[in-house]
Amino acid sequence: MKLELTATAATALAIAMASPAYAQMAPMDHSAHSAPAPTPSPTPAPAPSPSSAPVPAPMDMSGMDHSAMDHSTMDHSKMDHSKMDHSGMESMDSMPGMDHGSDAAMAGMAMGGEGSGTSRLPANEAMDHGLHLPLGKGSLMLHGFAWGVHTDQGGPRGDDKTYVQSMAMLTYERPFEGGKLTARTMMSAEPLMRHDGYPNLFATGEVAYGEPLVDRQHPHDLFMELAARLDLDVAEGTRVFIYGGPVGEPALGPSAFMHRASAKYNPEAPITHHWFDSTHITYGVVTAGIANERFQFEGSAFRGREPDEFRWNIESPKLDSWSVRASFAPSPAWLVQASYGHIKEPEETHPGEDENRTTVSAHYNSGNGLSAMAAFSAKDRSPGTTLTAWLGEANWDLTKHHTLFARAENVANDELFPDHASPLHDQKFRVTKLQAGYAYRLPLGETFNLALGGTVAAFMKPDALDPYYGRHPMGYTVFAKLSLGD
């Protein structure tokens, strides 16, 4: 068994900067306090017993002058809220037409609906995890994780390894009248791994030691994002924005897998990663768009070439590729997106071969522990064939401590045999991966969380691959994820 434990320097930086989280006081709901009846009954009936008392009808308070009420003199500290009966009250979050997540996002608060880069997620998918600190006229959010993993991938092409994934994210937000400025950086200590990353059967993409990666997942770069975004209000509920930087993510595909709640405890990258979200680390990005609480339309210019295997540096930015994306949020629980991009020579080992990528995805978040995504992608290579992929994943927080998650993928891949001498070189094979997992979650104080768990995976493939992968290859992982925030 190979042992490769990396120092998670970026996450340690975030932890070192942490201080106790500010307690957040929920606003008091004054609607729960009953006002005196306008006209007392001359012969009040005896009060019914608590078990049979009907809920009083809502009072018509339209004629009351609330401006004359002096709330500053009320002593709320003497009110016994524990004896108040809220059973007849409808939750504000469940009232029709109330889209608190998107309203908060429009107000410049990072409450929900924000994914990686400029991508959007359901408004129910809260993004206020981590540690929030005031900084001048703005605020700083710190978030990160160190994820120790052991994996064993079976079959002749399988391998086992113990390794650490890591990420540290710092986001600065500075609202101003008519807009907001956001600066964000994400970093990882994964370049301390070998260039060929970790075993992941049927995964392909990028290179290591001059050879295409097959059945392995590459590590992330030191700089995963180094970008800024400017939002300007142009009408009530509508804003325009521009985003960009030397390292960023263009408007192409769904939010990257490590930023989706549906994948937050799955330690393995999808084998369809290079169909959906491989551009989440791109050297050189400029994006412009317009958005309101339901719609977002955006376009990007960016560098098409994937990062090389030397992951400590920032590569030369270029703007030789383009993409467009449309997102629609019909309710706080749903977000759908469709995108198209022309990517200039994405793969180092395929010079002169461009890619036209189309993606469609639907995201769901109940706001109460269940999140899911379903997605389709088509890679139309020029010159070359079109390769399609399907992806479905879900995460279900059963209780405060117990979580179940799963992923199903189906992909057509012709890069499993990169050796030109192989009789299977450039042949297309359709493969399915089915994966299920469990995590036990343990809060550590106000800001840290520990998740312990594991996954099992099975594969379905053509018989022609049996000599190389075995008849029934399987894989498993065990992990411990320490995170600042969710």
DSSP string of 325-360?
A: EEEEEEETTEEEEEEEEEESS--TTSTT-EEEEEEE
CB 318, CB 301: distance < 8 Å: no
Closest-CA residue to 183 (of 114, 230, 232, 250): 230
Question: What is the rounded distance in angstroms from the CA atom of residue 44 to the CA atom of residue 296?
Answer: 57
Q: What is the token pair recorded at 47?
A: 């009060």
Residue given tokens 């429009």 in the structure block: 106
- Residue by residue, pLDDT tens for the chain (486 residues) are 443 433 333 333 333 333 333 333 333 343 333 334 444 444 444 444 433 344 444 444 444 444 444 443 444 444 444 344 444 333 333 333 333 333 433 333 333 589 999 999 999 997 556 888 999 999 999 999 999 999 999 999 999 999 999 999 999 999 999 999 999 999 999 999 999 999 999 999 999 999 999 999 999 999 999 999 999 999 999 999 999 999 999 999 999 999 999 999 999 999 999 999 999 999 999 999 999 999 999 999 999 999 999 999 999 999 999 999 999 999 999 999 999 999 999 998 889 999 999 999 999 999 999 999 999 999 999 998 999 999 999 999 999 999 999 999 999 999 999 999 999 999 999 999 999 999 999 999 888 999 999 999 999 999 999 999 999 999 999 999 999 987
101 backbone dihedrals φ, ψ, rounded to 5° = -65, -50
Neighbours of 36 (CB within 10 A): 7
Structural domains present in the chain? 102-484 (2.40.160.10)
Task: Give the side-chain half-sphere CA count within 13 A for 55.
Answer: 9
Task: Work out whether the CA dihedral 302, 359, 357, 311 comes out positive or negative.
Answer: positive
- The C-alpha atoms of residue 325 and residue 334 are separated, in whole angstroms, by 17
Q: CA-CA distances (angstroms) from residue 345 to 8, 355, 403?
A: 32, 7, 40
Tokens of 170: 């710092």
d(CA 449, CA 169): 16
| Spatial CA neighbour of 187 closest among 376, 375, 419, 8 | 8
State pTM to two decimals: 0.77
How long, in residues, is the chain? 486
Q: What does DSSP assign to residue 368? A: S
First to last CA, the chain: 31
Question: 210 near 348, Cβ under 8 Å?
Answer: no
Beta-sheet strands, E only, within 177-197: 179-187
Torsion of CA 155, 158, 163, 166, to 10 degrees: -110
